[in-house]
Every structure is written in C-alpha cells, then in structure tokens.
C-alpha cells in the first residue's frame, strides 16, 4: 500500500477564511483547512506524494501568506487511512426540510418524518456540501420552492458546475422532477453517479460532462439555474448562464468572495442588458463568512 506525507499546523481563525478563499480560487489539489467542531482550533493540512513535494508547495504557500506558522508537523500516511480521515470533519447540515447526511452516518442520523434527505460521500475531491458557497445556493433553492410551491413537476432546475451533485440531489429530494446537472470535469460526473447509487429513494437527476457552453447547448434553459462557480469563471463565461435562464426564471450565483460581489453584480447586470433586453431584473445578495451570492430574478419587461 503506497504512502504519502502530510503537513499539518494549527492556524488562527483570522487566517482561516483568506486561506480557504485562496485554495478555492487556485483549486489546489494539496491543501485544505479543517475544524472538527465550531469550538475547536482551525488546522491547515496538506497531502503530498513525498517530502520534497511537500516542501516545494509549502514554500509556494509561504510566498502568498507570510504569517504561516513556522513549524509544521510532517508525518507519513497510508492512502487507505487518508481516504477515511476526512470523515471526522464532515458534519450533517440542514435548513428547513432539507437535510444532508454523510453516507457513513446513514444508520446513526435520522431526519424528521417528511424531510428531504440527501446522503453524500464525495471524499475530499468535490466536497459534501459543507462549504459556505454550497449552503448559499441550497438556501436559494429552498426559497424558490417556497415562492413557487406548484413548481415541482414543471420547473427545470439546473445545477451548473455541479461538482458532487449536492444541489442537484437536493432539488430531487425536495421533489423536483426535472433536474439537470453538468460539470466540465468527468471525474465530478463519476462522483455524481456514485452519489446517485447512495440515494435510491430519489429520482436520479440527469448528469452530463460539459462546460458552460456545452451544458446549455441547444437553447436549454432552466427556471432556476444554480451556479456555484468561482468569480474567475463566472465573469468571462457569463453569457451561457444569462442565456440559460427562462424569462420569469431565476439565476443564483455563488462561489463569490464578498469583496468581489460588486464586480460580479455590475458585470452581470451589463451583460443582461446586452443579451436579454426583454427582461427586467430584481437582484438580491447574501453573505456567509467570506463568501457571498447573487440572485437575479427575471421578469418580462
């Protein structure tokens, strides 16, 4: 069984959000931040193929964050051990009737009768819904259902950049029958298929490996489009998202740092005016930690 090395150090609460934002933007395959319970300290960790790679990546990170701890604990880990280690840091999450439960807690955790339950296990690759950006989108999904209680059979929900499919499965759990998710990474779609097997009680969403252009190809449009995608992708690839929402539909954007909200908002408003002059917009925004979202509600002019 092969071995890797881990670097680990405690960090201050003040460093946690900037580091998390940096890791999300750079899509690093190495680094992450964990906190077992809300009262526990934050830990910065990295998993590397060997000690040389670990030192190289730590040096790169120190260039961006000068106040990193001087001392990191270096240890060898077995692949199989690492595959299960993250489970201690994944907790259930719920909002209103929606409940996300790790698959390994299926027998131990029980949601109230009538709940919309999703069982998830994405490993460390694509997250299990714990990130603020995913929660922001999930709340928009719940809000949409409350505002459109008769939408379950006829409204199309699109999860653009679906990752592990958390949002798509959430829509299915809430009762939506027309759910479509896509991601440019084929491995993400493999994870979605695995999560579908863990949720036989749900109608399986349609999942496709596609980028934003291909995902909305053929004039596909959603009544609710959820896009938990970072800013450096949202801005240059905004047109498919804008064109992919039905008139009277809604577009929820997440994956946006709070400091970037105004930039993304103004860019999308300008592109809506250019691409969709037939609609008027109502815009709302929320924040969760260092992250924010934008909701564009379309109305026929």
Are 2 and 48 spatial neighbours (Cβ–Cβ below 8 Å)?
A: no
Q: For residues 128 and 95, what is the distance between their CA atoms, to the nearest angstrom?
A: 15
pLDDT at 227 over 50: yes
Q: For residues 192 and 49, what is the distance between their CA atoms, to the nearest angstrom?
A: 26
Same domain, yes or no, for 82 and 146? no
Residue 44, judged by CB atoms within 10 A of its CB (0-12, 13-18, 19+), counts as buried
75: containing domain: 3-89
pLDDT at 153 over 50: yes
Same domain, yes or no, for 160 and 220? yes
Same domain, yes or no, for 119 and 199? yes
Same domain, yes or no, for 55 and 102? no
Condensed to tens digits (0 to 9), the pLDDT of residues 166-204 reads 999 999 999 999 999 999 989 889 989 999 999 999 999
pLDDT averaged over every residue in the chain = 88
CATH of the domain at 143: 3.40.50.150
What is the sign of the dihedral through the CA atoms of 277, 281, 287 and 293? negative
Across 160-168, average pLDDT: 93
Same domain, yes or no, for 77 and 109? no
Same domain, yes or no, for 190 and 65? no
CATH of the domain at 45: 3.30.70
Model confidence band, residue 29 (pLDDT cutoffs 50, 70, 90): confident
Same domain, yes or no, for 122 and 230? yes
Number of domains forming the structure of the chain: 2
Same domain, yes or no, for 98 and 211? yes
Across 118-146, average pLDDT: 78
Same domain, yes or no, for 61 and 142? no
pLDDT at 89 over 60: no
- pTM of this prediction? 0.77
Same domain, yes or no, for 36 and 139? no
Strand order in the sheet with 31-34: 31-34, 42-48, 3-11, 73-78
Across 13-32, average pLDDT: 81
Same domain, yes or no, for 33 and 180? no
Same domain, yes or no, for 107 and 186? yes
pLDDT for the residue 1? 45
% residues pLDDT > 70 (the chain):
89
% residues pLDDT > 90 (the chain):
62
pLDDT for the residue 129? 45
pLDDT at 279 over 80: yes
């Amino acid at each position: 069984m092969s071995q890797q090395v881990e670097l680990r150090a405690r960090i201050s609460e003040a460093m946690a959000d900037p580091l998390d934002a940096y890791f999300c933007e750079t899509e690093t395959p190495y680094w992450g931040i964990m906190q077992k319970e809300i009262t526990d300290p934050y830990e910065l960790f990295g998993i590397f193929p060997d000690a040389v790679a670990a030192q190289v990546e730590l040096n790169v990170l120190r260039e961006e964050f000068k106040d990193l701890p001087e001392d990191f604990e270096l240890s060898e880990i077995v692949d199989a051990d690492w595959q299960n280690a993250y489970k201690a840091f994944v907790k259930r999450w719920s909002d209103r009737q929606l409940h996300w439960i790790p698959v390994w807690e299926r027998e131990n955790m029980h949601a109230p009768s009538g709940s919309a339950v999703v069982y998830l296990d994405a490993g460390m690759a694509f997250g299990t819904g714990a990130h603020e950006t995913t929660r922001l989108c999930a709340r928009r999904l719940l809000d949409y259902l409350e505002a459109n209680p008769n939408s379950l059979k006829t409204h199309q929900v699109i999860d653009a950049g679906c990752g592990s499919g958390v949002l798509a499965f959430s829509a299915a759990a809430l009762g939506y029958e027309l759910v479509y998710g896509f991601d440019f990474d084929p491995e993400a779609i493999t994870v979605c298929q695995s999560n579908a097997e863990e949720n036989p009680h749900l109608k399986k969403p349609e999942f496709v490996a596609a980028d934003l252009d291909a995902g909305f190809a053929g004039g596909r449009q959603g009544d609710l489009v959820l896009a938990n995608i970072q800013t450096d992708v949202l801005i240059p690839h905004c047109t498919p998202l804008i064109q992919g929402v039905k008139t009277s539909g809604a577009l929820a954007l997440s994956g946006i740092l709070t400091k970037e909200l105004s930039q993304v908002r103004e860019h999308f408003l300008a592109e809506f005016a250019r691409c969709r002059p037939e609609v008027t917009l109502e815009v709302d925004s929320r924040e969760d930690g260092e992250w924010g979202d934008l909701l564009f509600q379309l109305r026929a002019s």
